[in-house]
Chains A and B, each alone.
Chain A
């Protein structure tokens, strides 16, 4: 059974058909890319899967459970994490606190425990702290634990966001243009990190990316969409030579 299965996903925003009959499946431990020209509907797919939008039609099954109608925090609690195209960190909280908050779905205590500082609270917070420090250590971020994200360079902010997504021990990681705005040295770093995450955590990764270098060197399989429809699927090699894909990106005259 696939980890994520999407069947006939359709999304309309008023008169605009953002996505039509999008079907897709992802096995455990796969690393798959979703590409397409600007405005093709890639982020819409991610927004539906992670619970921000409710799809007009279609079915999504994640980890054996239908998640249509789930709110984002419920999807997260099931073991899906994502990053954003434009970085969304909590800028007035330390990097460490940013990571700690990723454990919010698994806190294990409530308001009264927090106020009364029960043994249960202290135990849970200690676990969260250990986990957060561990993730920072693994992502080479331990030196920045006390910094505010807004004071970090862009490449590091991306890495903090990635670390935050990992702190929830996801089964599936959605990356929305992780290389956007990075210079070539940072991109090399990112490729190395993603590959390492994929091997080390043994999780599935589904990524949207424009930079062919990233997609071609990482993904085992690619899906190409244009105007909300799937126009091609296959290995990076296949896609590179696919005439329909070249047309979609470059126009008819390119051929």
Chain B
């Protein structure tokens, strides 16, 4: 029975969420936040595979999200909409809800391919050098996208809303919420199952003692490249979802700041802990949204108290002071994050009575 508790709870929560959204009980803002929490979860959990389980330091994860976002958008526009870029739709728009997984898959594969391109030359290096290479890769990807005029260049790319609308025409459901839940499920399931199999434990082995891993039969180069590809592929999935939720993509949304957000979520949650990173992704997304309200309030209060000169306003830019500050404080006072490298069931063994994750 307990084998299925978590699955049942997850399914019930998903159905409840979709039902609430369908009934109109959640306003559009709340719904968007929930969707973004899901996307951030995918983004952070996939980064955790490389930075947590494998112990490497990838700083350009958003670059792969960018690849996924653009490839997903292009596929979706080419498949289901009449556009200037691709001409008439390849498939009738009524097929959109059924073929959307193909769009997601295509985006993931493209991002995984980019992961491979970055991984092949860089995995003879380690640590700091890999960090530098991944930052560079992030910039390269953004620059490439910004310099292709056909897909909008620096102006960004749009048209995905039509796909989402086409899905709504077939059945009036909160489609993007459903697809995000689906993506979340695929991502968490993939990483969890991988890391509990002996095959995936090869990744931890490489992290904990590479020489021992190599001598015990683990092909370390292959394992590293595999992990990097899975990680970037899932980031691509997050990207494709993001593009469709927004209906618009711009390469600058996936710059180094976005990569930093990913790092904050992973280190906040605890490297190598899926439950920790999920908690962190939820907490972090909510925090960023909360700052949206807190900063103007702080501004008003400080002005009322006469703490700030009349001409100075605290703007939303301060978000980018506060978030890195969290990272600094975290490294100082709790470098292992919420859960360290343990899962929730290891921190609270009593939970095991209720759940085993399958």
* Interface set of A (CB-CB < 8 Å, partner B): 50, 52, 71-73, 76-77, 81-82, 84, 88-93, 97, 100-105, 107, 109-111, 114-115, 117, 121, 125, 128, 164, 168
Residues of B within 8 A of A76 (CB): 215-217
Q: Tell me whether A107 and B201 are in contact (CB under 8 A).
A: no
In the A-B complex, the 4 residue pairs with the closest CB atoms: A105-B217, A88-B212, A114-B197, A76-B217
A115 touches B215 (CB 8 A): no
Contact A93 to B205, CB < 8 A, known contacts A72-B215, A73-B214, A117-B193: yes
Query: Contact: B199 with A128, CB < 8 Å?
Result: no
Q: Does B26 contact A (CB under 8 A)?
A: no
B211 within 8 A of A: yes
Interface centre among A84, A97, A104, A164 (most CB of B within 10 A): A104
Instruction: Determine which of A50, A97, A121 lies in contact with B215 in the assembled complex, contact meaning CB atoms within 8 Å.
Output: A50
> Chain B's nearest CB lies how many Å from the CB of A167?
9
**Alpha-carbon distance between A102 and B226 when the two chains are bound, in angstroms:** 19
Please name 9 further chain A to chain B contacts, defined as beta carbons within 8 Å, in addition to the given A84-B215, A92-B208, A107-B199, sorted by A numbering. Answer: A82-B215, A90-B208, A92-B341, A93-B205, A111-B230, A115-B194, A121-B197, A125-B197, A168-B217
Of all chain B residues, the one with the shortest Cβ separation from A102 is B216
A244 vs B199: C-alpha distance when bound (angstroms): 50
Q: In the complex, A104→B213 CA distance in Å? A: 9
Residues on B with C-beta less than 8 A from A104 are 198-199, 202, 205, 216-218
Shortest A161–chain B CB gap in Å is: 9
The complex places the Cα of A89 from the Cα of B212 at a distance, in Å, of: 7
**Are B198's CB and A107's CB within 8 A?**
yes
Return chain B residues, CB-CB under 8 Å to A117.
Answer: 193, 358
B125 within 8 A of A: no
Within residues 256 to 302 of chain B, which ones have a CB less than 8 A from any CB in chain A? none
Residues on the A chain within 8 Å of B213, using CB: 90, 101
- A88-B211 in contact given A73-B218, A102-B217, A114-B194 (Cβ < 8 Å): yes
Within 8 Å CB of A111, what residues of B?
194, 199, 226, 230
Q: Is the CB–CB distance between A168 and B226 below 8 Å?
A: no
Residues of chain B within 8 A (CB-CB) of A101 are 198, 201-202, 205, 213, 216, 218
Residues of A close to B226: CB separation below 8 A: 111
Q: Which residues of A contact B201 (CB under 8 A)?
A: 93, 97, 100-101
In the bound complex, residues from chain A placing their C-beta under 8 Å from that of B199 are: 104, 107, 109-111, 114
Given A93-B204, A115-B190, check contact A125 B198 (CB 8 Å). Answer: yes
- Chain B 199-229: CB-based contact to A (< 8 A → 1; otherwise 0): 1111011001101111111111000001000
Tally chain B residues at the interface, Cβ within 8 Å: 28
Q: Given the complex, which residues of B lie within 8 Å of A50, measured CB to CB?
A: 215
Contact yes or no, A77 B198, CB < 8 A: no
Q: Is the interface of B mostly helix, strand, loop or mixed?
A: helix
Interface residues of B (CB under 8 A from A): 189-190, 193-194, 197-202, 204-205, 208-209, 211-220, 226, 230, 341, 358
CB distance from B283 to the nearest CB of A (A): 25
Contact indicator A115/B198 (Cβ below 8 Å): no
- Give the chain B neighbours of A92 by CB distance below 8 A: 204, 208, 341
A224-B212 Cα distance, complex, nearest whole Å: 27
Closest Cβ–Cβ distance, residue B254 to chain A (whole Å): 26
Whether B208 lies near A93 (C-beta < 8 A) is yes
Q: How far is the CA of A50 from the CA of B217 in the complex (A)?
A: 11
Residue in chain B with minimal CB distance to A82: B215
Within 8 Å by CB of B209, from A71, A73, A89, A103, lies: A89
Chain B residues contacting A107 (CB-CB under 8 Å) are: 198-199
A114 to B193, Cβ gap below 8 A?
yes
Q: Which residue of chain A has its CB nearest to the CB of B206?
A: A90
CB contacts (< 8 Å) of B200 on chain A: these are 114
The residues of B that contact A102 with a CB separation of less than 8 Å are 216-217
With contacts A109-B199, A114-B200, A115-B189 known, is A88 near B209, CB below 8 A? yes
**Contact (Cβ within 8 A) B217 A77:** yes
Within the complex, which residue of B193, B212, B230 is in contact with A84, where a contact is CB–CB below 8 Å? B212
**A125-B189 Cα distance, complex, nearest whole Å:** 18
Contact assessment for A168 and B216 in the assembled complex, using a CB-CB cutoff below 8 Å: yes
A76 CA / B189 CA spacing, docked (Å): 31
List of A residues within 8 angstroms of B230 by Cβ: 111
30 contacts between A and B (CB under 8 A): A52-B214, A72-B214, A73-B215, A76-B215, A76-B217, A84-B212, A88-B215, A89-B209, A90-B204, A90-B209, A92-B204, A93-B201, A93-B205, A100-B201, A101-B198, A101-B202, A101-B213, A101-B216, A102-B216, A104-B199, A107-B198, A109-B199, A114-B193, A114-B199, A115-B189, A115-B190, A115-B193, A115-B194, A117-B358, A168-B217
B217 neighbours in A (Cβ, 8 Å): 73, 76-77, 102, 104-105, 168
Distance (Å) between the CB of B222 and the closest chain A CB?
Answer: 9
Give the chain A neighbours of B214 by CB distance below 8 A.
52, 71-73
Q: Which B-chain residue is minimally distant from A164 (CB atoms)?
A: B216
Q: In the complex, what's the smallest C-beta–C-beta distance from B87 to chain A, in angstroms?
A: 36
CB distance from A83 to the nearest CB of B (A): 9
Residue of A nearest to B226 (CB): A111
Q: Contact: B219 with A73, CB < 8 Å?
A: yes
Q: How far is the CB of A103 from chain B (nearest CB, A)?
A: 7
Residue ID in chain A nearest B209 by CB atoms: A88
Nearest residue, chain B, Cβ from A125: B198
